Structure 1
Amino acid sequence: MNPRLRHWREAATLLLAAGAPARPPRSSLGAFDYELLLLQRSPRSGFLPGAHVFPGGLLEAADFSAEWLELLPPPPHCGLGLVRPPPPGSSRAPLFATDRQSLGSPLPAEVAFRICAIRETFEEAGILLAVPGRGPAPGGGPARALPAERLPELGAWRRRVQHDASCFPRLCRHLGCAPDIWALREWSNWLTPAGGAGRGGRRYDTAFYVCCVERRPARAAHDGREVTGAQVWLSPAEAVERFKSQEIWLAPPQFYELCRLGNFSSLQELNKFSSERALEGCERWMPVILTASDGYMQLLPGDELYPEDPDHTGEKKITLSTDKKIEDLMKEGSIFHRIVIKNTHDLAVYVNIQAKYKHKNPVVLNSNNSDFNSRL
């Protein structure tokens, strides 16, 4: 863990995509042969109460535990591929670039954050992504969750891990397995904006990973604490449709990533792209909020309105606002990387900049402004 952080708490989240029969499309994006796991946060949660989110949570000291050295291939990379140097003018996100050894951690961030995402998915959804022995699993296809016949013995272990994260390496030792860190592909890095902090000023520096599994795991019981009993498996298009029909609520980063996954209708296609792209690294994004007269925008790096020196800490108390309407701001502009928010369930992503790190821009999902969208 990084005790030098003052403004964010480090976290990891998992976009878990499971193979599923293609169903008739509910949107213009067409049919998908996979679904994503979304969990509903408790209305009592201090951050994003009631929202549907990807499984994930805070990094724990146990995710850097020296016990993992006995369960994984040797460090420093534990069988993971090396991320290439960032493009000229860019730098590796501090979340990954921080020298963890100088902080007394035996594992690099690339390993610990994957362990965090796998542990949190087990705690919140009862799904354990693991491979026999020390890994990695052979082959480059979608991963497999723990077989259903092993699930009955995990109930008590899950409660132990929820209570004490240091029980997670002990569980893996008991099962003779390793967390399948090699199936997780680095995808993105989001910072909570200064104006979007939760209760008590909580802000997060979160690593997003993608993991493709062959089929939906046999069982995924809810934890009854941070998430409620409501959990759903939806294709990217279905999730966006349910959001717009107010059946579920999504925070802007989750909405953005679902739109980005709209580029891939096939699980094999997503697995291939995420596997090949992951070693490029990813960008670090902190949205900056611009309030308009009839809504607001979350500006992202590359947008023509994004500040040259954004208020990362929140200590400057800088606010961006205008008396103009969102429609006027859109007509006046030409370089976009923004999430436009009219109300809680009316979000749209506008991107016409070149994606970095060999990534994909989101698919524009805003039927209310089709004329404008056709020009992007």
Structure 2
Amino acid sequence: MSNLQTTEKWRPSASLILVAKSKSVGTNYNLLMLKRSDRTAIMPNQTVFPGGLLDTEADETVAWLQYFDEFGIKEEALRQLVLIHDNRPNILAPQGTGCYDRFFKRTSIWAREIILRLTALRECFEEVGILLCRNRNNLDYGQVAQYENVPDLEYWQQRVHNKPSEFLELCRTLKVVPDLWALYEWSAWASPATVGKRHETVFFIAFVDTQPTLLSEPSEVKQTMWLTPLEFLRLARLNEIWFLPPQVYELSRLLTIKDYESLLEFSKQRSRLGTTMFMPVAYVCGEAMVCVLPGDDFYVKESHLATEYIEFPGTSEEFRARAKLVHRYDLFGPAALNVELNFPPPNGHLKPQNLPKDLLKL
């Protein structure tokens, strides 16, 4: 259901899929992922893209609008980040009672496309010390993200970590603006209604020409990794890292494009087509667990009300045979998702590929 109406039970957040060009043969780019610290992980070796919760005080303040204006950012440059579609998921819909135009009149009505980009960029700096930004001499809003080497990086990282609203002060001090225009809308996921702690997350994708130097925030990050999608999935199959289903699904999509420039062009064009919220609905079929996604014949229209597992009187094979349109994944263990999608992906997106059978031999 693309226009999912979530409530305060789902906390909004943003993640950043950061793609760095490499000289490797085959897949010529790497992705940045991080192992969460033992304090923050829900499972040992949980691995995620950089990101975290929206902070209203830090990300939603009108002080950002004032700063953009002082910096010389024109209204048209901000408007190009706003996508108006009839079926926007709630997390990306206009907030409050006003329309988008009120956002540009310095009210408390914000466009979430801008807020969540600020969230993703702030969290990326907090967690691994990467500041994607532009200065006054480089306001060309290019396709590839720019980043700044931050003096006293550890000091600023801790300052922002302890008080997220200090991210704006960091930008003021360095005389830069967050590179919002290099983040392309990629996907959106919401926690199933069956879980206790629920989040809804917008995934953005951004590209850099070279791998930036990283500084891990020790209370949040145990290890950082630059690897290809296939290498990450292989490590998950070997039980060396652990993913939640959204990470597996997105990595499986990225298996489709192995070229950096091709992925950049695809991401730029696809981002204008919008996003469908993926909130899995879980069915129990005998001993198997099957999670269905939007477009599947068994998807529940009001998925946010599916707070209990749905019992199906039969096997997963029988469950599959009952559907003509299939968009689902089977859960077999950590990161062992078997994704099936038998119709064109929504929003012009990539069709996920299941892991090669010889993956462990690579």
1:203 aligns with 2:198: yes
Match of 1:213 in 2: 208
Q: Map 1:234-249; keep pairs closer than 5 Å.
A: 234-249=227-242
Match of 2:299 in 1: 306
Instruction: Say if 1:246 and 1:45 are closer, same or farther in 2 by CA, change over 3 A.
Output: same
**Pair 171,101 (structure 1): closer, same or farther in 2 beyond 3 Å:** farther
Shift of the alpha carbon at 1:302? 0.9
Q: Which amino acid aligns with 2:88?
A: R
| % identical equivalent positions | 32
Aligned partner letter, 1:357: N
User: CA-to-partner distance for each residue in 1:329-372, whole Å, 9 max, x for gaps?
Assistant: 3455442111111122422111112222222221232539xxxx
In structure 2, relative to structure 1, the CA distance for the partners of 1:35 and 1:118 (3 Å cut) is same
Correspondence 1:175 to 2:169:
no
Cα displacement (A) at 1:305: 1.9
**Distance in structure 2 (CA, Å) of the matches to 1:131 and 1:79:** 18
- Deviation digits for residues 291-327 of structure 1 (CA, Å, limit 9, x no counterpart): 22233122101112212333x045xx43212353334
- CA shift at 1:105, angstroms? 2.5
Q: Distance in 1 between matches of 2:280 and 2:161?
A: 31
Aligned equivalents of 1:138, 1:58: Cα separation in 2: 26
Aligned to 2:3: none
Task: Give 1:63's match in structure 2, choosing from 45, 51, 59.
Answer: 59
Question: Residue in 2 aligned with 1:365?
Answer: 355
CA distance in 2, matches of 1:366, 1:324: 28
Question: d(CA) in 2 for partners of 1:6 and 1:134?
Answer: 41
Q: TM-score, normalised by structure 2?
A: 0.87
CA distance in 1, matches of 2:150, 2:172: 16
1:328–1:136 CA distance, 2 compared to 1 (3 A): farther
Which amino acid in structure 2 is aligned with residue 19 of structure 1?
Answer: K
* Secondary structure at the counterpart of residue 169 of structure 2: helix
Aligned to 1:351: 341
Go from structure 1 to structure 2 and tell me whether the alpha carbon gap of 1:52 and 1:164 turns closer, same or farther (over 3 Å shift): same
Equivalent residue, structure 1, for 2:217: 223
How far apart, CA to CA, are the structure 2 residues paired with 1:280 and 1:297? 28
Helix, strand or coil at the partner of 1:78: helix
1:1-376 map, 5 Å = 5-23=7-25, 31-45=26-40, 47=42, 50-61=45-56, 62-72=58-68, 73-75=73-75, 78=78, 80-86=80-86, 91-100=87-96, 105=108, 107-133=110-136, 136-140=139-143, 142-146=144-148, 150-195=149-194, 197=195, 201-217=196-212, 219-228=213-222, 230-310=223-303, 312-313=304-305, 317-322=307-312, 324-331=314-321, 333-365=323-355, 367=357
CA displacement, residues 214-264 of structure 1 (integer Å, 9 cap, x when unaligned): 1111x2121112222x11111111111111121211110000001111121
Q: TM-score with structure 1 length normalisation?
A: 0.84
Q: Is the 8 A contact 1:190 1:285 kept in 2?
A: yes
Structure 1 residue 286, shift from structure 2 partner: 0.6
Q: In structure 2, the residue corresponding to 1:92 is in which secondary structure?
A: coil
Query: Is the partner of 2:91 in helix, strand or coil?
Result: helix
- 1:65-112 CA distance string (max 9 Å, x none): 2221233224586253442534xxxx1111111334759635421111
In the alignment, structure 1 segments of 5+ residues that lack a partner are 24-30, 369-376
